[in-house]
């Protein structure tokens, strides 16, 4: 190997950055969006808003009564405890998974079918390409760590110029932007790439599990997440009321409250009921559990401490989610995710700017960069717009939403491929602004069922950012 360390690292950084930058950009954009997953899902199902002031105990009792009447033969029931002002979701298995949204009286609500945030989550960690996608995302994550280390080595004045951004100076400005976005959020970049890999640890590094548990990998999870189990008796018994168990769990969990209730062998004399705690401020993803006797309501078991390898993995996975500090963590992760997307986008643009300055023809790469940089967010904007645009009673509505999202991305790609280079950057940003503002507009129309919520604010901020960026790029006549 010849040359200084920097000379050796430069091509590694450049080529990992260009080739895997495209994959990483999609991961960064989708990851940034799903920081607001809870708010997004509530926004995409506006019919679940039932108004404030309904006591949770009453809503749970109504849900319990509904399940007793309609799912008496099922082996287990799940009741998702609603956040303030939202409907209760109940689930059970009857040959297939059945889900119903219930109002506080226990009446079934009509809720539009939607792809929901799950579509974006799948795009984030598998690119919707199954096991192959998961491995590709993992490879990109591992290579991101290499790109970060080589980037640090390449940066000559990493501490001295940490705050330096000089706009309007062509290649120099793109490099400054790339450096500022990367260096100032470096702890986040390392954490998010490493914890993302740890998240799929058992898939990516199955050898230790296979060595210790042979063919039965499920045994690892059973040991890590102990459950209280009891054989059904086959005897009918009238179930105990949920409210006293719920109150007991709320006292134990404090601020977190109860998030999920699972009833095992309902209506059986040996029925048990698990109450898990809700989302709250802590690093670990693990849920605490209290188990009660389904007939007497007496506490049988509690699991509020975990440890060992699973605990380690859960803390790192929790770090990836950033569900901490109420919603402060979400906003900080959103800002850092945005910085990651900017880091990757400026890196991609820098590749072309540098080569064009040397007189190389890189027009195709410029267009591919633009297609990706504006196409990835257009998928999200298209999905949100479709959620409000399509008739609520449409058959296969979730799939139709995804089709609209892909059409929106297709338009962004077409702009990038066929419009003149002086206008394509501005138009790509304008398309994204249009999608978000149109979705917000439809959500706020007089016929809309829900008011202005947290996710409407996120759409407004996103739409204005894209609009401002589009106007700026159009005025500049950016050709990079």
- Residues near another protein (CB under 8 A) are 160-169, 180-181, 184-185, 187-188, 281-283, 319, 322, 324-325, 328-329, 332-333, 335-336, 339
Cα distances (angstroms) measured from residue 129 to each of 20, 124, 133, 287, 401: 16, 11, 4, 29, 18
Rounded to the nearest whole angstrom, what is the least distance from the CB of residue 159 to another protein in the complex?
A: 9
What is the β-pairing status of strands 272-277 and 289-293?
antiparallel
Residue with Cβ nearer another protein (139 or 342):
342
- Between 126 and 323, name the residue whose CB sits nearer to another protein: 323
Nearer to another protein, 283 or 460 (CB): 283
Of 332 and 448, nearer to another protein (C-beta) is 332
Least separation in angstroms between residue 319's CB and another protein is 7
CB of 390 to another protein, least distance (A): 37
Provide, rounded to whole angstroms, the least separation between the CB of residue 433 and another protein: 21
Report the alpha-carbon distance of residue 406 to residue 108 in Å, rounded: 32
Least distance to another protein, CB of residue 331, Å? 9
Between 160 and 298, CB nearer to another protein? 160
C-beta of 35 vs 67, nearer to another protein: 35
**In contact, 26 and 123? CB cutoff 8 Å:** yes
> What is the nearest approach in angstroms of another protein to the Cβ of residue 161?
6
């Amino acid at each position: 190997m010849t040359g200084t360390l920097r000379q050796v690292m430069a091509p590694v950084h450049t080529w990992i950055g260009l080739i895997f930058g495209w994959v990483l950009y999609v991961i960064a954009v989708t990851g940034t969006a799903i920081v607001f997953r809870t708010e997004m899902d509530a926004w995409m199902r506006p019919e679940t808003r039932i108004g404030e002031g309904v006591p949770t105990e009453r809503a749970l009792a109504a849900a319990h009564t509904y399940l007793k009447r309609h799912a008496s033969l099922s082996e287990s029931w799940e009741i998702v405890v609603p956040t303030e002002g939202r409907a209760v979701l109940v689930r059970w298995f009857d040959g297939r998974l059945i889900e119903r949204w219930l109002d506080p009286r226990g009446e079934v609500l009509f809720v539009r079918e939607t792809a929901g945030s799950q579509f974006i989550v799948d795009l984030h960690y598998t690119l919707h390409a199954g096991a192959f996608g998961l491995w590709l995302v993992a490879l990109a994550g591992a290579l991101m760590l290499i790109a970060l280390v080589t980037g640090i080595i390449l940066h000559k004045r990493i501490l001295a110029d940490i705050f330096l951004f000089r706009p309007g100076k062509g290649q120099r400005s793109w490099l400054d932007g790339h450096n500022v976005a990367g260096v100032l959020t470096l702890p986040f970049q390392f954490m998010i790439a490493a914890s993302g890999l740890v998240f799929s640890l058992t898939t990516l590094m199955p050898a230790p599990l296979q060595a210790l548990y042979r063919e039965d990998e499920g045994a690892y999870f059973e040991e890590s997440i102990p459950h209280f189990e009891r054989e059904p008796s086959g005897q009918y018994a009238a179930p105990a009321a949920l409210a006293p168990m719920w109150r007991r769990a709320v006292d134990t969990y404090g601020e977190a409250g109860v998030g999920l209730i699972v009833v095992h062998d309902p209506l059986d004399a040996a029925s048990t009921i698990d109450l898990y705690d809700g989302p709250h401020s802590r690093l670990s993803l693990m849920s605490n559990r209290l188990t009660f006797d389904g007939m007497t309501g007496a506490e049988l078991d509690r699991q509020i401490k975990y440890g060992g390898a699973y605990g380690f993995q859960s803390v790192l996975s929790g770090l990836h989610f950033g569900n901490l500090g109420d919603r402060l963590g979400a906003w900080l992760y959103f800002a850092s995710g945005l910085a990651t997307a900017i880091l990757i986008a400026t890196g991609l643009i820098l590749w072309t700017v540098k080569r064009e300055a040397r007189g190389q023809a890189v027009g195709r790469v410029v267009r591919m960069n633009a297609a990706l940089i504006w196409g990835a967010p257009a998928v999200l904007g298209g999905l949100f717009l479709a959620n409000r645009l399509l008739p609520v009673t449409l058959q296969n509505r979730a799939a139709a939403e995804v089709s609209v999202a892909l059409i929106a991305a297709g338009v962004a790609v077409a702009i990038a491929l066929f419009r003149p280079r002086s206008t394509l950057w501005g138009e790509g940003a304008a398309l994204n602004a249009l999608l978000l503002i149109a979705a917000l507009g439809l959500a706020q129309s007089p016929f809309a069922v829900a008011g202005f919520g947290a996710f409407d604010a996120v759409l407004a901020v996103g739409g204005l950012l894209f609009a401002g960026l589009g106007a700026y790029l159009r005025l500049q006549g950016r050709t990079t």
